Amino acid sequence: MMVADSKPVSYSYVAALLRAGVQFIAPSPAAQVKDEVYAALDLTRATTVDWVPGSDAGKAAVRRESYRVLEDTHSLKGARKSDPELTVRRILVHSTANAAGQ
């Protein structure tokens, strides 16, 4: 299992990891997830995460930020037409704080 930052989330790197049979987890670079993806999230299907950030620890539950997760797949395309499309599992996190900021 490899845990990484967003740098390895490129077609060539993901292709090499998949060929090698390496399981990995890494955040997608923000620029790779289009706004339409977040706008189309069905939050009624999302799972609420039981986590409280340190900045919210002293707040009443109704005043804390909340986080929900959804799972789907994401396809990466190579630079050449002959490159096979790669499909990976993707976890999307919805934060009420980020949503309010958007």
Instruction: Give the whole-angstrom CA distance, residue 69 versus residue 61.
Output: 19
**pLDDT over threshold 90, residue 95:** no
Percent of the chain surpassing pLDDT 90 = 35
Say what the pLDDT of residue 34 is.
81
How would residue 21 be classed by pLDDT, with cut points 50, 70 and 90?
Answer: very high
- What backbone torsions phi and psi does residue 60 show, to the nearest 5 degrees? -65, 150
Q: What is the mean pLDDT of residues 45-61?
A: 90
The predicted structure's pLDDT at residue 83: 94
21: closest CA among 44, 2, 39?
A: 2
Domain ranges of the chain: 29-101
Please state whether the predicted TM-score (pTM) of the whole model is above 0.85: no
